[in-house]
């Protein structure tokens, strides 16, 4: 099972990513977690990315992609399944993640999109701020992360829809209900993954990634 998740901050990517990983016994590759771990350990990379995380901005693509490539190589050695959590976050990352997948013979089977509205996401992130102490769970940085999600991340969903691998889940419910629905949807497609040789699946049309953004910029047009 190879899953990538696209979801706004606070939608429950981390929780559901762990659940999927445990259910299918596959590695959970969470870019935010990996980056925060570098910051906590004050590695050279951690010092390089800390300011981006604190401001709620995306760290440079190449840093995240190098990290993910390494994790995907390890995932391949561990059996070939994975849950990607936190990437792709923009068009370039979507393209690059696909290319890494092609190179390693492990492109995503499913793009899981968790949907929730901004008011609920903000409420959850503020509640989390009281419990954990993430430097980016302040009111101002939460607003910045949500704005960035709408501007550069959410438009890539259309590309996965065009590729025929998109599953949308309403994340406005309890973690348990959302988790149940996700596992049921993934279990439903599992037999087709086990039996279809990789070569028989249609290669996606990468030009669609450009179209997802449209001539008028992000979020234009694709609302079907």
What residue ranges bind ligand ADP (CB under 6 A)?
9, 13, 31-32, 35, 52-53, 56-59, 64, 86-87, 89, 93, 136, 145
Q: How far is CA 171 from CA 73, 163, 165, 190, in A?
A: 30, 22, 18, 22
Q: Which is nearer to ligand ADP, 87 or 110 (CB)?
A: 87
Whichever of 48 and 191 has its CB closer to ligand ADP, that residue is 48
The minimum distance between CB 7 and ligand ADP, in angstroms, equals 7
Task: Give the shortest CB-191-to-ligand ADP separation in angstroms.
Answer: 31
Query: Which residue's Cβ has the minimum distance to ligand ADP?
Result: 32
Q: How far apart are CA 9 and CA 86, in angstroms?
A: 9
Distances (CA, A) of 160 to 13, 113, 117, 120, 208: 17, 10, 21, 25, 9
Q: Per the structure block, which two tokens stand in for 40?
A: 């906590």
**Cβ 87 to ligand ADP, closest distance in Å?**
4
Q: How far apart are CA 58 and CA 49, in angstroms?
A: 9
Q: Cα 155–4–61 angle (5° rounding)?
A: 65
Nearer to ligand ADP, 160 or 194 (CB): 160
φ and ψ at residue 58, rounded to 5 degrees: -75, 135
Q: What is the rounded CA–CA span in Å between residue 148 and residue 151?
A: 5
How near is the Cβ of 114 to ligand ADP at its closest, in Å? 10
Mode of pairing for the β-strands spanning 82-85 and 166-170? unpaired
**Please, what is the minimum distance in Å from the beta carbon of residue 34 to ligand ADP?**
8
CA 137 from centroid of its chain's CA atoms:
19
Rounded least distance, CB 6 to ligand ADP, Å: 10
């Amino acid at each position: 099972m190879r899953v990538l998740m696209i979801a706004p901050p606070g939608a429950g990517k981390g929780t559901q990513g762990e659940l999927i990983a445990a259910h299918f016994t596959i590695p959970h590759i969470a870019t935010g977690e990996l980056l925060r771990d570098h910051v906590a350990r004050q590695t050279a990379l951690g010092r390089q990315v800390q300011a981006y995380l604190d401001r709620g901005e995306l760290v440079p693509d190449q840093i995240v992609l190098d990290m993910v490539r390494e994790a995907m190589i390890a995932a391949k050695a561990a059996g070939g399944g994975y849950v990607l959590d936190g990437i792709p976050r923009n068009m370039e990352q979507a393209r690059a993640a696909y290319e890494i997948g092609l190179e390693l013979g492990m492109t995503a089977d499913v793009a899981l999109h968790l949907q929730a509205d901004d008011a609920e996401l903000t409420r959850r992130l503020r509640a989390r701020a009281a419990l954990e102490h993430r430097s980016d769970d302040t009111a101002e940085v939460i607003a910045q992360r949500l704005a960035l999600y709408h501007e550069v991340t959410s438009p890539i969903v259309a590309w996965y829809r065009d590729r025929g691998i998109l599953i949308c889940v309403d994340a406005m419910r309890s973690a348990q209900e959302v988790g149940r629905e996700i596992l049921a949807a993934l279990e439903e497609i599992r037999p087709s993954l086990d039996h279809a040789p990789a070569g028989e699946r249609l290669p996606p049309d990468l030009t669609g990634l450009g179209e997802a953004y449209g001539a008028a910029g992000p979020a234009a047009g694709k609302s079907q």
